[in-house]
Structure 1
Amino acid sequence: MSKTIKFLIVVALFVGFTSCSDDDDPTPLVEVKSENVVNLYAPVGGGSQQGAPGPASGEFTKFDFATGLTTTSETEWDIAFRGQSIIVNGGVSAGAIDEPTRTNEAAGYIASGTLSTITEVNTTLLNQDSEGGYVLANWYTYDATSHIINPTPGKIIVVKTRTGNYAKMEILSYYKDAPAEPDAYTSESPYFTFNYVYQPNDGVTTF
């Protein structure tokens, strides 16, 4: 065998090995996104949430974690807000007036901890909205004396989005501009202020 042929064989083997190595390299992960949302307005008409008779009504304000924006899309939303109610885009209607149709498989649960200590999704806890109620209903506490709605301390909302990605969020305030000491009679509501972390990488359950 000539030196030229041997050289060509070595080159071919090297190129083949390099190509295989490149194919085996994992796709680089996209950086986790941390965002702050201020004064997301989620009005509600009628019902006891406004001190008026009759059931709550009006459109929900839909939110997309991937874009960090509200949306009017009937399908491309993960969670939605109306008054104190937060729903996920998965499951079925709880029977409230003007609920949007659930078009995807979003789910959620409320975890104990802080935004920094919740580092992994416990997928066994994920649930969807049902006829029995909203899976994220217990995000707040109501003070019957001051009539103030406060996010429950030490509780973090964990969400499986409509695309199968994950997010965690901490609601900071229910009142406009997040006053340190809101007043039920003078502080405007419902204006949600919250921090969230979004995991954009498919199949990754850690933050």
Structure 2
Amino acid sequence: MNTIQKLSISTFALFIIMSSCKKDEVIVKEAVKTETVKDLAADPTSVSTSGQPTSTGKYTFYSFKNGIIANTDSATLKWDVAFKATTILTNGGTSGIGQGGASVLSGIFDEVKTIPSTSTFVQDSKTAYAIPTGSGKGWYNYDGANNLISPIAGKVLLIKTADGKYAKMEILSYYKGSPVSPTSSSVSRYFTFRYVYQPDGTQLFN
């Protein structure tokens, strides 16, 4: 058998082995992530030496995939939402360099299996946030008489992430420790929320 024939047989054998390996490859799909976050600080206030409440004015940045993100990464695609007091930013529009946006849906969190075809995602702008602020406009109601913030039951926040993936989120509490019946003395600006994050780019949450 000459050298050319040997090379041809070896090449063919290698092709068969490589083809077999490719057939045996298993593509592992990243699972949908379901998580509840407790007491995420959203620029909580403290009392200064003068006796006046103060805060840092800084946002807490969060990635549905990786958790809390350092403030130094605020100008990156590493975060999806950011929290400060009652304001929630998305990583898009005037708030970030990502594809982020949001749509506020009325519905039961566990029953939202996919993003409705009627949902429209908007981005933060100079005049309004994708997740509206103000009592009754977005995720909360404000009780002025008792100075209390209460999440609106049946409000699901549909989020488009910085890299164009999707998540659904529900705010459960605005107070540290998630008291069932918060009072004016409850420590505020601590978010407890749950979410489902779909990492494969589809709009399905199961």
Q: Structure 2 length as normaliser, TM-score?
A: 0.75
Shift of 1:21: 8.3
Q: Give the aligned partner of residue 205 of structure 1.
A: 203
1: CA distance, partners of 2:80 / 2:164: 10
- What amino acid sits opposite 1:43 in the alignment? D
The whole-number CA distance in structure 2 between the counterparts of 1:19 and 1:62 is 45
CA contact (8 A) 2:60 2:69 kept: yes
Correspondence for 2:126 among 110, 125, 131: 131
Q: Shift of the alpha carbon at 1:115?
A: 2.0
**Aligned with residue 90 of structure 1, among 71, 86, 92:** 92
With over 3 angstroms needed to count, the CA separation of the structure-2 counterparts of 1:20 and 1:126, relative to structure 1, is farther
Runs of 4+ in 1 over 6 A off after TM superposition: none
User: What residue ranges of structure 1 are gaps of 5+ in the alignment?
Assistant: 1-7, 46-51, 93-100
Q: Amino acid of the residue matched to residue 117 of structure 1? A: E
Indicate the residue corresponding to 1:108 in structure 2: 102
Please say if 1:71 is aligned against 2:65. Answer: no
- Other structure's SS at 2:111 match: coil
Q: Structure 2 vs 1, CA of residues 81 and 173 (structure 1 numbering), >3 Å: closer, same or farther? A: same
Percent of aligned pairs with the same residue?
38
Preserved contact between residue 100 and residue 123 of structure 2 (Cα < 8 Å): yes
Q: Is the 8 A contact 1:35 1:68 kept in 2?
A: no
| Unpaired runs of at least 5, structure 2 | 1-8, 46-51, 133-137
Q: What's the secondary structure of 1:116's corresponding residue?
A: helix
Number of corresponding residues:
177
Q: Tell me which protein shows more strand as a share of its residues.
A: 2
Q: What is the CA–CA distance in structure 2 between the aligned matches of 1:125 and 1:27, rounded to whole Å? A: 32
Per the normalisation by structure 1, the TM-score is 0.75
Q: Is the 8 A contact 1:71 1:77 kept in 2?
A: no
CA distance in structure 2 between the aligned counterparts of 1:179 and 1:82, rounded to whole angstroms:
20
